[in-house]
Amino acid sequence: MTIKLFPAPPRIHGDAEALPPHERSRFRAAAWHARRIYPGPLGELVSRELSAYAEFGYRLSNDGLIPRLATAVLATRADPGGPGSTLPCHQHRPEPATRHASRVP
């Protein structure tokens, strides 16, 4: 009886380029924003995917889905005072425009 060993896998060089710092910060900002605009499990899932992409970059996928997701998340405005908001609703509202009627004697 002979034992047949399989060949070793190819060496990993670890020379893949990381995302540029401005791209990493964009994906991290989108991950944080996703938690605000999508409360609950959906926001957490989107946030995790965007954070993982910021950490590992294009090595996860090359179909462009995650960059498109980040663009969509960052283009969505958060509901002021809605779920996930850090300020009470009244602090988000802009001050009403007041007209100062000048009194002419």
Residues 1-43 pLDDT 10s? 778 888 888 877 766 677 889 999 999 999 999 999 998 999 9
Q: For residue 63, is it within any domain?
A: yes
Q: For residue 104, is it within any domain?
A: no
Torsion sign (Cα): 41, 27, 51, 88: negative
DSSP state of 18: P
Q: For residue 46, is it within any domain?
A: yes
Q: For residue 11, is it within any domain?
A: no
Counting the structural domains of the chain, the total is 1
Question: Domain residues for 50?
Answer: 21-77
Alpha helices in the chain (DSSP H): 21-37, 41-56, 65-75, 89-92
- What is the per-residue pLDDT across 39-98, written as a single tens digit (0 to 9) for each? 899 999 999 999 999 988 766 667 889 999 999 999 999 876 655 555 444 444 455 555
* Cβ proximity of 46 and 5 under 8 Å: no
* pTM of the full structure: 0.62
Q: For residue 73, is it within any domain?
A: yes
Q: For residue 13, is it within any domain?
A: no
Neighbours of 66 (CB within 10 A): 21
Q: For residue 87, is it within any domain?
A: no
In the chain the first and final C-alpha atoms are separated, in Å, by 115
Name the token pair of 105. 């004697």
Q: For residue 31, is it within any domain?
A: yes
Chain length of the chain: 105
